[in-house]
Structure 1
Amino acid sequence: MSRYVVSFMKDVLGGNGRQIEVCQKTLEIDASSEGEATELAKQKFCKVEHLCEWSLHADRIQIKSADFTS
């Protein structure tokens, strides 16, 4: 099992009228693969944010491995 950091990102207009990228939420997920981590994170994001679909609050998902190797 590996640990992944999954971030839900959204593009919004800033106060100056320019598009900026905002992180809606970051979750740490334990899973056997990036694909599984993504799906688990989508489910958890929806539950925490009381959504039926993650893409209502985010445009994309970024995933990074949180495992440290020595």
Structure 2
Amino acid sequence: MKYAGNELEYTLSDLSVHISNNAIASGRSEGYLATATLHLEVPTRFAGRVLPPVSLNLQVQAKYIPKF
């Protein structure tokens, strides 16, 4: 949960991370691939009224490739 003063900005939950490294045993690693999924919830307000929160499931990927 991230707050700005007393106001809730957003909530992150249900983080799941999967890291794969196919060739580590052979010594010829092509790097690591990390896939993360998480749930983001953002409270919304319009014209002074509280509306239902925006709720999203996100999936992101990052890859590390060694240079040497």
Normalising to structure 1: TM-score of the pair?
A: 0.27
Greater percentage in helix: 1
Normalising to structure 2: TM-score of the pair?
A: 0.27
Greater percentage in strand: 2
